[in-house]
Amino acid sequence: MDTAIVILNYNGKKYLKDFLPAVMANSNHAKVYVADNQSTDDSVAFLKSNYPEVTLIINPSNGGFATGYNQALQHVPEKYYVLLNSDIEVTPNWLAPCIELLASDEKIAAVQPKILSYKQKTHFEHAGAAGGYLDKNYYPFCKGRIFEVVEEDKGQYDQESEIFWATGACMVVKAELYHEMGGLDDDFFAHMEEIDLCWRLKKRGYKLMYTPKSFVYHVGGGTLDYMNPKKTYLNFRNSLYMIVKNHEHHLFTKIFYRLILDGIAAMMFLVKFQFKHFAAVFKAHISLYANWKKLMAKRKIIKSESTTFNKAGLYKKSIVTQKFIKKTSAFSKLNPNDFYN
């Protein structure tokens, strides 16, 4: 297979030691790369000593997830890229179903497998689950995960399906399209950059797919813990960034409404005495206004390059209302007619 598995590493020797053996054993002769983001542990020495067959790419700086992959993939000539987190345990025959589906249709840009939790293997994992979606206000959620609630995998999502976004934790993407789109947005640093990339692909009519024929186990929060205020900041900021770049209609109305919703979220942090998370939401909006001109320039370019927007995977209602007002915590409880297809 003309496939490259590219693992981005930053001080992740523990994960490389734990999970790289399964990648090497179960990846159908795909070429394995590790791109190092200037680690300060002995990850590089460990790889050189124990895995000389792995191609090592040393990035010139630590530009986070987005820049790290953009820098590394300039040196990767294969036809298909697998962006794989270092804290993922792959399973036998995990790769072939993804490649087969990706190659089956020229309109399919990327594929993700089922993402289960390494810590609780009967359940989905937060980052990706059984494929990603966006609601009408562009809050991301997954088949198998709505906000913080993850479902047990009982085979309820064992149907191949089109999704809105594929997780960057384990994304199989066509190299040509990755580069054609300009890769991940460097300004995101980390978090939601894959959603932004998928959104841009959808605006050119491409499809993103989920396959249950492949599954992997994800530790999650390996580089930045889920409860870290920096993660809160990046999630809120990058969500706003991608709305400005990609939303098609009345931008100011959408941003104003998100300001209200984000303000409610910030107050919830305040009530829980999570002051750093409260400040993170505020800083995210300050960053939006500080970078408005730059984002609007990107928006103009994306709009000029867009063709037919493939809206499959967009939810016509508010997932916030469904979760916190109607108490819906399972994707299967949402009305399928409320999704674009």
Residues 211 and 235 placed together within one structural domain of the fold: no
What's the whole-number mean pLDDT along residues 274-293? 97
**C-alpha torsion 287→289→291→295, nearest 10:** 120
Q: Identity (one letter) of the amino acid at 112? A: Q
Position 275 scores a pLDDT of: 96
Chain mean position to CA 78: 21
Q: Is residue 290 part of a domain?
A: yes
Return d(Cα 268, Cα 280) in angstroms, integer.
Answer: 13
**Spatial separation of the C-alpha atoms in residues 127 and 158, rounded to whole Å:** 18
Residue 315 maps to a domain: no
135 and 47, same domain (yes or no): yes
257-277 residue pLDDT tens: 999 999 999 999 999 999 999
- Tokens linked to 241: 């960034």
- pLDDT for 334: 98
In which band, very low, low, confident or very high, does the pLDDT at 232 lie, cut at 50, 70 and 90? very high
For residue 226, name the pLDDT band (cuts at 50, 70, 90).
low
Residue 139 lies in a domain: yes
Residues spanned by the domain of 233: 229-306
Q: For residues 243 and 191, state if they share a domain.
A: no
Sign, CA dihedral 197-203-207-211, equals positive
Are residues 25 and 153 located together in one domain of the fold? yes
27 is written with which tokens?
Answer: 């990846």
DSSP strand pairing (140-142 vs 132-134): antiparallel
> Based on the structure, what is the number of domains in the chain?
2
pLDDT of 34 reads 98
Q: Is residue 319 part of a domain?
A: no
Residues 254 and 214 occupy one common structural domain: no
Q: 162 with 143, same domain?
A: yes
**Within a domain: 323:** no
| 338 domain residue, yes or no | no
Contact 197, 96 (CB under 8 A): no
**What band does 224 get if pLDDT is binned at 50, 70 and 90?**
low
- Domain of 161, CATH number, reads 3.90.550.10
| Confidence tier at 221 by pLDDT (50, 70, 90) | confident
Q: What average pLDDT does the chain have? A: 96
Note whether 64 and 165 are same-domain residues.
yes
pLDDT at 333 over 70: yes
Q: Could you tell me which residue, 228 or 180, shows the higher pLDDT?
A: 180
The HSE-up count of residue 93 (CA atoms within 13 Å, CB side) is: 5
Q: How sure is the predictor about 222, in pLDDT bands with cuts at 50, 70 and 90?
A: low
User: Is 154 found in the same domain as 103?
Assistant: yes
Rg (CA), the chain: 19
The answer to whether residue 224 sits within a structural domain is no
Percent above pLDDT 90 for the chain: 96
Same structural domain for residues 194 and 90?
yes
Regarding whether 207 and 238 lie in a shared domain, the answer is no
Which of the listed residues 170, 193, 218 is the one where a domain comes to its end? 218
**182 and 253, same structural domain?**
no
What's the rounded Cα separation, in Å, for the pair 295 and 297? 5
pLDDT, residue 227, reads: 79
Residue 340 counted as domain residue: no
Check whether residue 269 and residue 152 sit in a common domain.
no
Contact present, 222 and 85 (Cβ < 8 Å): yes
Provide the pLDDT for residue 265.
93
pTM over 0.85: yes
